[in-house]
């Protein structure tokens, strides 16, 4: 039973969508709109905030409140929005350049504070809007216009950054797998605190196919580990491989070999505060490992915007000063009423102040 009966279409604005044909952003927008429709929250209570970059045009295409801000600052502006009004449902649409380069500081502090909003990180490992320069998630050696001989720096792994910032929620998805992206976004939306969803997104012009090896649906079963809460971490066309711990290290084991059975395979629990294992899952990379997809971490923690409200309520319950007039007259004051004293003159006695 829903209140609004929204469909994804209800969240589309009249603005013409101007992403390049074939851009991964279309699929992500569809997933987000479907998720929002399912959330059954009124349009008026959504605020979609973005920074600068291709993905950051997002708010213009949404039929909600939206704010397309400045490069790198979406996380900070959204923090202000949510702190000012915790009743709003706040989404941040951002990219690898926006959040991990120029806005890196705001990103980690948003995660650390655990403000209750959803951040979708469009990771295409390139600067698209400025036409093809390497980003903080570009792989070492990547040749771009600003690295004609290859980059000489290592990339961020977004999930590591989130967990290193004491993040309570991190998930990963692939743009082309709309159904899975939507499932992950729905979990993110339910999470109390900052939820970061990294979506591997294809830039069809400047970095086409960068995620193909991982995302190709034909090899999905072999190359991706679709994590599900309470399920063993099994993958492969034949569901014949799984993850086990050997001497504390995550290892791929073949079920049926060396006495390994399904029961030996690790069971995924994103709600367990097990940073070590979750970072190991985030770090898994081909060819040794499949790439982990889905909700990797989802734990509870104090939520900044809620704490702010609670603190104000606690202080107000015992307050001595209830309004400005009382504050002005509180503490060390004295009365001047001598014979040689004049009548007070109001500061705003000029008529133009109304």
Give residues 293-312 in contact with other proteins (rule: CB under 8 A): 308, 311-312
Q: How far is the CB of 132 from other proteins (least distance, A)?
A: 22
Contact window for other proteins (CB under 8 A) among 31-39, 123-131, 281-289, 341-349: 341-349
Whether the CB-CB separation of 58 and 29 falls below 8 Å is answered with yes
Helix, strand, or coil (residue 183)? helix
Beta-carbon contacts of 349 under 8 Å, excluding residues fewer than 6 positions away, are: none
Burial readout 174-190 (b: 16 or more C-beta within 10 A, e: otherwise): bbbbbebbbbbbebbbe
Tell whether residue 3 is a contact of other proteins (CB under 8 A).
Answer: no
Tell whether residue 231 is a contact of other proteins (CB under 8 A).
Answer: no
Tell whether residue 332 is a contact of other proteins (CB under 8 A).
Answer: yes
Is residue 170 left, alpha or beta, with left meaning phi > 0 and alpha meaning psi from -120 to 50? beta
- What count of residues does the chain have? 354
Torsion sign over Cα 147, 149, 150, 152? negative
| Closer by beta carbon to other proteins, 164 or else 232 | 164
Q: How far is the CB of 240 from other proteins (least distance, A)?
A: 47
* Cα gap 298→191, rounded to integer Å: 7
Q: How far is the CB of 56 from other proteins (least distance, A)?
A: 9
Tell whether residue 348 is a contact of other proteins (CB under 8 A).
Answer: yes
Binding footprint of other proteins, residue count (CB under 8 A): 73
Q: In the range 50-89, which residues lie near other proteins by CB under 8 A?
A: 52, 59-60, 62-70, 73, 76-85, 87-88
Contact window for other proteins (CB under 8 A) among 161-169, 215-223, 264-272, 321-329: 321-329
- Run of H or E including 195: strand 195-200
Tell whether residue 246 is a contact of other proteins (CB under 8 A).
Answer: no
Q: In the range 96-115, which residues lie near other proteins by CB under 8 A?
A: 105-106, 109
Q: How far is the CB of 261 from other proteins (least distance, A)?
A: 49
Residue 129 φ/ψ, nearest 5 degrees:
-65, -30
Which residue among 45, 222, 240, 269 contacts other proteins (CB under 8 A)?
45
């Amino acid at each position: 039973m829903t209140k609004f009966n929204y469909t994804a279409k209800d969240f589309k604005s009249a603005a013409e969508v101007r992403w390049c044909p074939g851009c991964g952003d279309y699929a992500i927008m569809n997933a987000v709109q479907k998720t929002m429709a399912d959330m059954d929250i009124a349009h008026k209570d959504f605020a979609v905030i973005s920074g600068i970059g291709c993905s950051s045009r997002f708010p213009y295409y949404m039929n909600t409140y939206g704010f397309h801000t400045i490069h790198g600052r979406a996380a900070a502006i959204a923090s202000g929005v949510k702190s000012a009004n915790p009743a709003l449902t706040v989404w941040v649409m951002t990219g690898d350049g926006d959040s991990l380069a120029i806005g890196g500081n705001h990103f980690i502090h948003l995660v650390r504070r655990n403000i209750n909003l959803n951040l979708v990180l469009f990771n295409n490992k390139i600067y698209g809007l400025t036409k093809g320069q390497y980003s903080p998630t570009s792989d070492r050696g990547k040749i771009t216009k600003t690295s004609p001989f290859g980059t000489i720096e290592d990339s961020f792994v977004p999930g590591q950054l989130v967990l290193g910032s004491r993040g309570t929620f991190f998930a990963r998805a692939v743009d082309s797998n709309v159904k899975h992206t939507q499932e992950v976004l729905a979990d993110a939306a339910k999470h109390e605190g900052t939820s970061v969803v990294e979506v591997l997104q294809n830039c069809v012009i400047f970095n086409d196919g960068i995620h193909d090896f991982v995302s190709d649906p034909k090899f999905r079963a072999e190359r991706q580990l679709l994590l599900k809460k309470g399920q063993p971490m099994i993958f492969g066309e034949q569901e014949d491989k799984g993850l086990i711990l050997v001497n504390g290290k995550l290892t791929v084991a073949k079920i049926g070999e060396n006495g390994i059975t399904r029961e030996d395979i690790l069971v995924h629990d994103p709600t367990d505060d097990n940073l070590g294992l979750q970072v190991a899952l985030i770090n898994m990379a081909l060819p040794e490992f499949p790439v982990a997809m889905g909700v990797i971490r989802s734990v509870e923690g104090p939520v900044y915007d809620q704490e702010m409200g609670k603190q104000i309520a606690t202080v107000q319950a015992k307050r001595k000063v209830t309004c400005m007039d009382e504050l002005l007259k509180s503490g060390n004051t004295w009365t001047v009423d001598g014979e040689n004293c004049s009548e007070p003159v109001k500061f705003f006695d000029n008529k133009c102040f109304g």
